[in-house]
Structure 1
């Protein structure tokens, strides 16, 4: 069965925690996690609801493979209407919290209403209660986790919480679990903060004992682990260098967005790369990188544990940051570094620690700083308005702005609204590098045409993980495509998007797909879950999820006109590198993409498509 068949419904307004049966008809159509939680959300809220109002809901969801022996089977998702974008938000996180929730006997938590005063949710197996969190309000994620473990006298308690960013309604606030793992994008932390919910603390001791065919599942999971171990990316590259392995690769391709996408090559990329993290510092003879780290059940272990230089200006009087802590991932290193022209590795690590500690998405934060630095460069923003000098390349400005935003101080309150609102406020909306209000990740859509289309069509705003065309355009997985060409990209992107929706709904990590195909994933789902789960039915399920999300966004007021990129990417050619002279050719690809999806020329799913998918 793989599911626990139980949902915990928490009404914060009433202060109630009630168990209810999982809708197994929906589980058969949407599997779990991203798909199933989205199905619940669209059935329970008005798509036009204010994301920060009590009428919005926030759903924590596991997948059927969460907590099992499947490699990377530790994922959970947070689904809500996102305040940064106004569209459906689904943020995925690893660590150990998701598996613990499953061990406690729950597939999902649906949180609704708003508590009159700050609270946290404590779950111990089937027992759930809301407890006062007044003393936790105003504290960081790290402090919250330590306090709750001590309070409940349980070092194995798993905590998912918001920091001050979520409390202060930073629109890109994250929900952080296990200190350094996050449901990071789209502002899910701000929704949690708007409900006066500080944290969810879970302890589960029941395990997962309801696999449909245990012997077949063990065989499929073991075979899957062997494939991961023997693959160059999942068995060697990611364990050794983490996602940061991409920094020099993308830069050398001329696809690394730099200084708010003004450029596509960063002269300082080498200084903030994975290789730099391995080198010993002159100051103390130690490497920045201490070791790698794995989430629950993961055999890849791409996480980083780093030690900041104690003599660096950002921490020389802050010994609390001197020890080993969560290290830089590629997206964070890009957003805090190249996007702002900052090549100081220690400054990037400090800003990243603040994002973890106070619950902020480092991608949106860093990209918004890039927009602010361009506004400063153009003379639109002054030192007096920001409170400091903020030229491109300033490590000092990056670190100070991180502190100001996390704490809600001064200009940090404005920066916390994201680049779309900041740039509109100062009369330069075209300088916001966003789609549907969400900031770009670390790939230029002019240099990688497929990624440009992925950004434009993503249901949660600009996102690399909804259809990771980098796999094909950079790594040649599953086939090598020319990043500069548009032909064939719509078909491949649709396939990636549908397959990713399956992975996101299963409880597995999308990084497995560097090595795994549906030939590896389908047997694990089939053995774990009751019913028939063919590759064809799974991919149709992925397509169903994609169209469900699209329908919600259309009802929320987002149309095909929003499937586009900023003017800079459409009109300003790349200046250097292999992509020199190129712009994003969205207009060439979008009509074919809509047709392949079974949508009208305006981007609306047709009646026939809805009927075929059972929507």
Structure 2
């Protein structure tokens, strides 16, 4: 059959046995899960058994593009990676821009599945039908920039730095130096497999079912992106640091490991100030008109994202912009998640009653990236470090994943989103702060629980589906699920309504929940750190009784039991087949 949007096959690579297989995909499965995050979650759930060691050869790494990846649809130059997290033990997906996703589709594959572990360091090279496992011993010990320089002649480079080699639990995977599969430790999984890099190139474009119709659908999307001041002005002119002043003004900026929530120094870290101080060059992902990423001219050093400025900066009580830029650059070169790195350092500083200066911050990043001295303990993440030191309450995490740059006391929808996230404390599972603070697509009361449980569940479903297309979530400031479903139909030839699209996301969310239940997670893990229930900042602490009521309402919105378990009826409605002993 002829495929449209999808390539219709994946490449399965067993590093233990050096075996490469090209496996055809089924259209019915792709309708249910789309690709990207959804395809990866489906494969990981069905292939892994309970209690699989994330750093063993039994774990999988699934790199998956979506049906829109590499097509003319704006902001679709992305892909997802799915595995079991060595940081949290949960299901883990991460989403990345850059060029790797489109190049994977150009090579003719929807996904790469990596299993097993090599005896020696290797890298994978893909160019259309040619798939090779190459010796990487000369690359082992190099960081991201040197590795990328060595391999970029072959195509788009996805690689780990020495943090991944040393199994830092929040090591990430970098694409072409500056785009990251950032959270949960995917770089450590890659390092445990002795896999240094994957390089991909291709010469084919995905087929589009109705090119004329897609042209009209793309015009609709482009018009909305241009009309939105968020995508056409804020993010394009200043990048994500444009959030800094507003988040600080709304009193939800993490300071000192979430002990305070405003800073008089926020402007010095803002997108506006960075724009004043430095000449910057836009470095957009493939096919993206928003172009939120940028680098400083002429050095080529990356401008930190808002989350980095907040968690590696203000949460560590470091507001020296040059120091944060350097720390961010080091994290990218070692291959480490800046959020988890910063949150772990902030936890360390509070636990040891330290006032960090810029030099100490940079020194700690080096120590974590090399696992030297105290860095060896901090490389385990805030949750394990705080627990080992006898103060688990000082780790600001959910399910072991450190929280990002929004204090939940001032954005109650985000509080519920953090707590119920399947991969742990995360803002991108349901970016409800877009409504609570930015008023996009509409403004809602940020200190009220009214309507939040249903809205969080809906946004989680939409975002899971978007992550499976794979489109950039920044487009959702301008574009609705209706426009995405229309584009999806034009590309694939499969009719998707907006309701169909949302149900795909709901299916994925429930399967992720099943994975976590199988791993032993319960409703007790849908919880925030006690600090947010016990301590005021510039906003009041969260009422725990109100939070628990909202959590139960969230379970009802999902048609789960009061213990947060999907029912057989719900799974049947979602066409999730199989026998699940851990459902109601």
TM-score, structure 2 length as denominator?
Answer: 0.96
SS at structure 2 position matched to 1:477: coil
Residue 107 of structure 1: which of 82, 107, 110 is its match?
110
Match of 1:600 in 2: 561
C-alpha displacement of 1:279:
2.1
**1:158–1:203 contact (8 Å) kept in structure 2:** yes
RMSD value over aligned CA atoms? 1.2
TM-score, structure 1 length as denominator?
Answer: 0.92
Residue 427 of structure 1: which of 387, 390, 395 is its match?
390
CA distance in 2, matches of 1:12, 1:23: 25
Aligned residues: 572
The 5-angstrom pairing of residues 566-585 of structure 1 reads 566-574=529-537, 576=538, 579-580=539-540, 582=542, 585=546
SS at structure 1 position matched to 2:383: helix
Deviations 1:390-435 (A, max 9, x none): x334111110011111122111111111000010011000000000
Further displaced range: 503-512 or 531-540: 531-540
**1:564–1:586 contact (8 Å) kept in structure 2:** no
**1:259–1:392 contact (8 Å) kept in structure 2:** no
CA distance in 2, matches of 1:102, 1:55: 26
**1:572–1:583 contact (8 Å) kept in structure 2:** no
The 5-angstrom pairing of residues 368-447 of structure 1 reads 368-377=344-353, 391-447=354-410
Residue 302 of structure 1: which of 292, 310, 324 is its match?
292
SS at structure 2 position matched to 1:337: helix
The answer to whether the aligner puts 1:256 opposite 2:239 as a matched pair is no
The answer to whether the aligner puts 1:275 opposite 2:251 as a matched pair is no
The 5-angstrom pairing of residues 451-490 of structure 1 reads 451-490=414-453
Which sections of structure 2, spanning at least 5 residues, go unmatched? 577-584
C-alpha displacement of 1:482:
1.1
CA distance in 2, matches of 1:88, 1:401: 29
Which sections of structure 1, spanning at least 5 residues, go unmatched? 281-286, 308-321, 378-390
Match of 1:591 in 2: 552
**2:533–2:542 contact (8 Å) kept in structure 1:** no
SS at structure 1 position matched to 2:408: coil
**2:15–2:118 contact (8 Å) kept in structure 1:** yes
SS at structure 1 position matched to 2:373: coil
CA distance in 2, matches of 1:70, 1:6: 21
CA distance in 2, matches of 1:570, 1:205: 55
SS at structure 1 position matched to 2:141: coil
C-alpha displacement of 1:70:
0.8
C-alpha displacement of 1:23:
2.7
Match of 1:44 in 2: 47
Match of 2:174 in 1: 176
Residue 59 of structure 1: which of 58, 62, 68 is its match?
62
The answer to whether the aligner puts 1:344 opposite 2:305 as a matched pair is no
Match of 1:530 in 2: 493
Match of 1:161 in 2: 159
**1:140–1:163 contact (8 Å) kept in structure 2:** yes
Deviations 1:380-399 (A, max 9, x none): xxxxxxxxxxx334111110
Further displaced range: 526-535 or 119-128: 526-535
SS at structure 2 position matched to 1:461: coil
Residue 528 of structure 2: which of 539, 555, 565 is its match?
565
CA distance in 2, matches of 1:410, 1:137: 22
**1:140–1:357 contact (8 Å) kept in structure 2:** yes
